[in-house]
Structure 1
């Protein structure tokens, strides 16, 4: 049986190809982006004037300066389709966060491009997406220079990290914690993960698999640094109380330091020329 998601994705691609050429101008397509990493890449490449609108709801701090001069395009989960129809962008950037069915709906209004990061090596995935976005504006050479500078910065920051320290990354969601396989931490910076006890078992919900942990389990793991990506805080929910978690770990005899990362940057963004650099810097500051 044919996978309905495959059909939806193919439909989006066909609609995008049909409309993209007509919507482009001499400088490349005008854009509305529902992926903040793609947006910060376009900003870093200097094509600000081609951005027509952006989702204001939940906008990460590092992009908040854009709100004053661009209209509100909705949220990452609920794009403002009426606005898209009014502005008729040359390109709407979306990801799996919006879902294939919503991409098809938006593709009836304007060409859609799915900019979800490819699976596999994280650095290569970032390279591929940045280069691809730059190609719409003839800026591949500039993108290469930007990427070289980014990876040089990552290498310098990696060298500044103390040897031998262990790190655990967790996601906080409504009072619950789960282990997070964070490529910026474990691939780009090559930090050592604390050993996970055999008692930690996966839990599958729909297409997602989680590895729930408790403060007691984290105390047994005893990483030097515990990095928290606070999903609840990022989407307007009740944030984690880091002092309470820190106290529990201390009482259990763990010398772990709890650091809550910037919620919007880590849960709602990433994979862009600006966001990767900001994430690397935040992690290195946390573990030094």
Structure 2
């Protein structure tokens, strides 16, 4: 190689190194160790809970892409960023085009981790259902460490801890027992072991109308909720997560459950905000909103 070309290459390489951002190692939920850039300026966020956490940390401006087709209404301010595909099918081309320094995913995109890692470091911030609150706080801290907003995260977590404690007091003082259900394509199914149920029953301490029982191996048989089920169980509250409405399909009909059956069983149906509960959750802002929706039904 020509000495002048070699010298120019070495200088460019050295300048490139000096211009590189520093990096940190993160290990969300003690399940993955990933080296990521410190204070990235361009981040693709496929996980809406992570998106609302970055927003709460005051770092929403670094988000350059997210799925837009089902963007939750409380995150509408981000509809101007690049559309990076659907929740289950990230657009590799669209993500490449925005040249992210970091990609944040959840379980919906986990199978694409290897492919996405060829573009930029990837961290999976899926909520741990068995440790919902601690997992959420851990994710807030991870994103704060990456963005240099540790003090803001400390304040957010303190506020959430206080809110959870107050909510638990309301739930424990209430006589009301609840079930959590999901509506999908004209059917309503009990989701007693879901992340939504974990938040409502395990974190916020809302009393269960149906005990949580160990699930057999393999695909569990669904428990369908209908008028007969309500008459038998007589829950005080049915919290409904409407999946169909969240993804733009036909919402659950208001008379899905017979009003006379509900009145006789003294059961109230609470329709949770669909896109908040089905598409998001596990974030600083989403958790705050979810607590309000659950506890307001107990007052």
State TM-score, norm by structure 2: 0.80
State how 1:117-132 maps to structure 2 within 5 Å: 117-132=127-142
Matched, 1:178 2:189: yes
Partner of 1:85: 96
State how 1:206-225 maps to structure 2 within 5 Å: 209=220, 211-215=222-226, 216-225=228-237
State how 1:71-150 maps to structure 2 within 5 Å: 71-100=82-111, 102-150=112-160
Contact 1:178 1:210 (C-alpha < 8 Å) held by counterparts: no
Partner of 1:33: 45
State how 1:189-204 maps to structure 2 within 5 Å: 189-195=204-210, 204=218
Could you say what the CA RMSD is over the residues aligned between the two structures, in angstroms?
Answer: 2.5
Aligned pair count reads 262
Worse-matched range after superposition: 160-169 or 229-238:
160-169
Which secondary structure state, in structure 1, belongs to the residue aligned with residue 293 of structure 2?
helix
Which secondary structure state, in structure 2, belongs to the residue aligned with residue 186 of structure 1?
helix
Cα distance, 1:263 vs structure 2: 0.6
Worse-matched range after superposition: 91-100 or 31-40:
91-100
Partner of 1:59: 71
Contact 1:197 1:221 (C-alpha < 8 Å) held by counterparts: no
Partner of 1:7: none
Q: Which blocks of at least 5 consecutive residues in structure 2 are unaligned?
A: 1-31
Contact 2:129 2:198 (C-alpha < 8 Å) held by counterparts: no
Give the 3 Å change call, closer, same or farther, for CA 256–106 of structure 1 in structure 2: same
Contact 1:94 1:112 (C-alpha < 8 Å) held by counterparts: yes
Which secondary structure state, in structure 2, belongs to the residue aligned with residue 287 of structure 1?
coil
Q: Which blocks of at least 5 consecutive residues in structure 1 are unaligned?
A: 1-12
Counterpart among 31, 34, 43 of residue 55 in structure 2: 43
Which secondary structure state, in structure 1, belongs to the residue aligned with residue 134 of structure 2?
helix
State TM-score, norm by structure 1: 0.82
Cα distance, 1:80 vs structure 2: 2.0
Q: Moved runs in structure 1, 4+ residues, more than 4 A? A: 201-204
